[in-house]
Amino acid sequence: MVRSRDRSRRRPAYRRRPNEFYWLWIAATATYGVGDIVSTIAFLRYVPAITEANPVVAFALDSFGFAGLVALKFVVYLIMLWISVEGAREGDKLLYYFPPVLLTATGTYLTASNVRLLWLS
């Protein structure tokens, strides 16, 4: 059997290794989606003297409240998911792995930072 080097004929990584794809995005959801949102809301609710430092998030919060924060995070999450799926379809490992890893790292840092600031307040 001859393996085709034509990437358009290969099945995307999320079809060949679905568990890997799910776990990458579960980690991103847990840290960036749940961890950062919950810790940001707790921080802003229980430490009202301190405001959001990110101007984009601050605008979303000022305009739409906590729903704006959740909507903004959801839009970013969907864009990153789309990039990852397209990367898998194209056979581009960087575009496949980078979005969930970036969201996981960012979510972990932001959650830890929020919890630290909440603890110190």
Domains: count for the chain: 1
Q: What is the pTM of this model?
A: 0.85
Specify if 62 maps to a domain.
yes
How far is residue 118's CA from residue 44's CA, in Å, rounded to a whole number? 9
Q: Is pLDDT larger for residue 76 or for residue 117?
A: 76
pLDDT digits (tens, 9 = 90+) for 7-47: 556 787 777 887 899 999 999 999 999 999 999 999 899 88
pLDDT digits (tens, 9 = 90+) for 54-113: 999 999 999 999 999 999 999 999 999 999 999 999 999 999 999 999 999 999 999 999
Specify if 8 maps to a domain.
no
Specify if 111 maps to a domain.
yes
Specify if 1 maps to a domain.
no
Give the domain extent around 91.
15-120
Specify if 102 maps to a domain.
yes
Specify if 81 maps to a domain.
yes
Specify if 7 maps to a domain.
no
Specify if 74 maps to a domain.
yes
